[in-house]
Structure 1
Amino acid sequence: MKQPNILLIMTDQLRGDCLGYAGHPDVKTPYLDSLAAKGVSFDRAYSACPSCIAARAALHTGMEQSHHGRVGYEDNVPWNYTHTLASELAGAGYYTECVGKMHVHPLRNYLGFHHVDLHDGYLHAARYASVPYRESQFVADDYFYWLKQELGVTADVTDTGIDCNSYLARPWMHEEKYHPTNWVTDRSLDFLRRRDPRKPFFLMASYLRPHPPFDAPQYYFDLYKDKDLRPPFVGDWEDTEELMKNGRIFDSKTGPLDEELKKQAQIGYYACITHLDHQIGRLIMALIEQELYDDTLILFTSDHGEELCDHHMFRKSRPYEGSCRIPFLIAAGKNVLPDMKSGSVCHAVVELRDVMPTLLLAAGGAIPDTVDGFNLLPLGANPSGSVRPWLHGEHSYGEHSNHWIVTETDKYIWHSQSGKEQYFLLSEDPHELHDRIHDKSCRERIHKLRSHLATCLKDRPEGMSDGVHLIPGRPYPPTLPNATAE
């Protein structure tokens, strides 16, 4: 069988529920809805370590977090993995290209891609005055380099006055064609123009949005500014102490205290999503016009979600659905997966580590023995199937450090510094409004999930488990010793 072209559409900080096809009452995503109608969407997809670097390590290596060694967020740690998605596809005969975000170290580490058009967004660690010239984001990042050529040496994405982790929102200040979302599509289209037509291609279109800054063009803000938006989810277990303390800090880990600022954050976030959707639409239309769509496999996902003021929280790294549940769908042209049950929804628990084996097997390649993920292609023909009974997730996050076990129906959370536990019956309570950790009827189930977590952590270097009991308060650095192993 002819090797399919592969398009991996990667987004940044996109919640699993903020899509039209996922049933969101406010967000409009017509092009992604169309892809879902032609493919299989996974409504129990997760990022097991939900922040940019660790999530991308899982994507590029197919490993679970204790094996790739990144269990939190830490910049400037070298990436030295032997087997990566791009290198394996290149070995299988593919011409490989990434456009947009990589977020690896060093910045120009290609991870096996033949070519990278790089834009990592605003990276504090690559912009400080002490960073050597060639390692500066203004030099190494292709979008920033291009933007300064187009608009002058002072042009920057920070000209809006919005930080890259802020809940503040305002429209893009330049012409739309200069927006980083448009740039990723423009450069992806240019790749399709200059690709080697004798080879199948692997294109990773890696968009920065809807990660803050929430700065979509004015047109997209106007779509939402007068709508009565669904408010954030707040349950019966939240503590408002941190919100009261930090709710006026623009880049805090809580949402804002001000109700109007909460709505503005929603407007900006949704605006970025619809803008992103329209730019993805340009890419899909190009595949059709160039008569490539019928021979192309498309996988769409994100690195993690965004709390967006749910439970008085903002950003990611938390164990809750807004942070760790991600969109995930597979669609294909008629010559690629003829047995796919179009428009179906799969409830299997899947994770970013599953991307690599899925795409490698679609390409006819071999899966390295370092890969922990599963091939999801059989679920296209049988969406009622499953690949794992449960998934272990985690994130080193200071006092908010956490571990969790999630299944198709429920979730157990252990806060590793305090030892606090939570339990949510997701099948009845998908927005985690009611913590049932003290519900006697759930005691046996909680014990079982706790035991799974104790087993997962047994041989870890932090000493958080003896295999039977969980041990709180242990040091929990964001990077394990094996992260930089050759």
Structure 2
Amino acid sequence: MQADKQSQTRPNILLITVDQMRGDCLSALGHPIVETPNLDRLARSGVLFRNAYSATPTCVPARAALMTGMSQCSHGRVGYQDRVPWEYEHMLAGELAGAGYHTQCVGKMHVYPARNLCGFHNIVLHDGYLHHNRSRHNNTVNGHFDQVDDYLTWLRQQAGAQVDIMDNGLDCNASAAARPWHLAEELHPTNWTVTQSIDFLRRRDPGKPFFLYTSFVRPHSPLDPPQVYMDMYKDLELPDLPIGDWVDVEAAKANGSDPTTHFGIVPKRRLDRARAAYYALITHLDDQIGRLVNALYEYGVSQNTIILFASDHGELLGDHHYFRKSLPYEGSAKVPFILSDPGGKLNLQRGGSQSEVVELRDIMPTLLDIAGAPIPSTVEGSSVLPLCRGEEEAEWRPYLHGEHSYGSLSNHFVTDGREKYLWFSQSGEEQLFDLVSDPQELVNLAAVNSAYWQDRLEVWRQRLAAELDGREEGYVEEGRLVVGRPPRQLLTSVFQGMEA
């Protein structure tokens, strides 16, 4: 009994992340279609951030920012590169474990090797379909794929030895193809992630506060919601997609309608079905998050558990005829971010919202701050608690620099949440958006013959040049951006000896 009382002197922490959820897909933000009542309830008991971004919007670099608190220049992952060992000295779970927390991850880690604990006491793993884990020729380090996927092992125990996560026929990157989940709902990976998280609440050490990281794979494709959720959305009239004045529509037509495309024009019926399935997956997630929050109540810890909810990146979902992520547009780079305090422990401005630009690197220092744990000097993010408390003296970054190596579309962006500047390093194309009057990024102000916007363009151009000055790629010479420098997936200054 005494040990259990001692565990409550510091709050428990529940970090919930989803994969590939757009920042606008919350009914609390006025989305015209998607329903997220449980996430809205978290926002009412905490603070909702309206300008949260993923600085490197794909799974691996985004999770590096989350787990290390570093910018992409310091964690070194400026593009998507699998099979690169995670050997960072300070990671979130390890710091919380060192501070006396019982730490557990359930769901997606997307690290290498796959069973790298990254400081957790234990992981129960489901990364979804990762090509390097599934390849029968790449098993010298990880072992066979069923050894790195605890969900698949469990699923076969429940539904038969021949069952596989690819049985529905949907590609793991098919953003324009959808069908309902083909097995019982309780077997869906979203339900499994919550079931395993609730089981941790049963078997946690009662003498310690806990850090539970519940990490969902959905709404990342395959777009396979249970039928009841698909039925909620499949017949709704969906709003038109934004198509900017800068989009090369003829090139999109030429690219066709491959369901795994990054850029192309998909037939409306197919695209509407995919959008409906995506929204359905989010509502399914929302209900399961409600189930997990209810379990906190049942185990008597709901009033002493802080909840942070975020996504690793977004999904373009047909905006400007683009799909998936990696690009700096709002659908891809903007993410949901909620800090919830149901018990009122942190003195937050509950039910409020914040417009300051936050990023995934801010999660680690925020959670360490909540735990009263030291924040390592390697951390470059900042705790959002002063913002959430409305502290007038709280200083915050004036803008955020993001980037992603992406072949001919390798890009950099700089934003303060009100304006956004984009530079495509291989072509030199520039875009500038007024996010206040044009949140869908329809009008490229870099092409507007206006003295005001040309001045603003130069301001942002110089800010980006200052961010990139001295980078090993050679993006800047004599204070000006240089076009055509070969982009890297990894910075060799961080990953010495590795091919970048």
TM-score normalised by the shorter chain: which range applies?
Answer: over 0.9
> What is aligned with 1:419?
428
Asked if the contact 2:105/2:124 (under 8 Å) is kept, the reply is yes
Q: Where in structure 2 are the equivalents of 1:423-434 lying within 5 Å?
A: 423-434=432-443
Asked if the contact 1:53/1:74 (under 8 Å) is kept, the reply is yes
- Residue of 146, 161, 165 corresponding to 1:153: 161
**After alignment, is 461-470 or 70-79 more displaced?**
461-470
Cα offset, 1:230, TM superposition: 1.4
Answer yes or no: is 1:71 the counterpart of 2:78.
yes
Q: Where in structure 2 are the equivalents of 1:299-378 lying within 5 Å?
A: 299-337=308-346, 339-378=347-386
Answer yes or no: is 1:216 the counterpart of 2:225.
yes
Asked if the contact 1:300/1:328 (under 8 Å) is kept, the reply is yes
Between the aligned partners of 2:75 and 2:477, the Cα distance in structure 1 is 22
Asked if the contact 2:46/2:342 (under 8 Å) is kept, the reply is no
> What is aligned with 2:275?
266
- The alignment partner of 1:250 has SS state of coil
> What is aligned with 2:127?
120
Give the total of aligned pairs.
485
Answer yes or no: is 1:276 the counterpart of 2:285.
yes
Cα offset, 1:467, TM superposition: 5.5
- The alignment partner of 2:109 has SS state of coil
Kindly provide the CA deviation profile for residues 347-392 of structure 1, in whole angstroms up to 9, marking residues without a partner as x.
Answer: 0000000000000011001110101001101111118866210000
- Residue of 460, 467, 472 corresponding to 1:456: 467
> What is aligned with 1:93?
100
> What is aligned with 2:418?
409
Cα offset, 1:485, TM superposition: 6.1
- Residue of 18, 28, 37 corresponding to 2:35: 28
> What is aligned with 1:50?
57
Asked if the contact 1:39/1:342 (under 8 Å) is kept, the reply is yes
> What is aligned with 1:80?
87
Kindly provide the CA deviation profile for residues 427-465 of structure 1, in whole angstroms up to 9, marking residues without a partner as x.
Answer: 111110111003322112111111111111111111111
* TM, length-normalised to structure 2: 0.95
Match of 1:465, as an amino acid? V
> What is aligned with 1:6?
13
Residues 159 and 242 of structure 1: CA distance in aligned 2, closer, same or farther (over 3 Å): farther
> What is aligned with 1:251?
260
- Residue of 410, 435, 447 corresponding to 2:458: 447
Kindly provide the CA deviation profile for residues 198-227 of structure 1, in whole angstroms up to 9, marking residues without a partner as x.
Answer: 100000000011000000100000000111
Name structure 2 gaps, 5 residues minimum.
1-7
Between the aligned partners of 1:186 and 1:351, the Cα distance in structure 2 is 29
Match of 1:259, as an amino acid? K
Between the aligned partners of 2:344 and 2:349, the Cα distance in structure 1 is 14
Kindly provide the CA deviation profile for residues 49-89 of structure 1, in whole angstroms up to 9, marking residues without a partner as x.
Answer: 00000000000000000100000101101110000000000
Between the aligned partners of 1:358 and 1:283, the Cα distance in structure 2 is 22
- The alignment partner of 2:61 has SS state of helix
Asked if the contact 2:313/2:332 (under 8 Å) is kept, the reply is yes
Name structure 1 gaps, 5 residues minimum.
none
Asked if the contact 1:77/1:484 (under 8 Å) is kept, the reply is no
- The alignment partner of 1:97 has SS state of strand
The percentage of counterpart residues that share the same residue type is: 51
> What is aligned with 1:132?
139
Between the aligned partners of 1:162 and 1:383, the Cα distance in structure 2 is 48
Match of 1:318, as an amino acid? L
Asked if the contact 1:254/1:313 (under 8 Å) is kept, the reply is yes
Asked if the contact 1:84/1:111 (under 8 Å) is kept, the reply is yes
Cα offset, 1:144, TM superposition: 1.3
Match of 1:66, as an amino acid? C
- Residue of 165, 171, 175 corresponding to 2:173: 165
- Residue of 489, 494, 497 corresponding to 1:478: 489
Cα offset, 1:146, TM superposition: 1.4
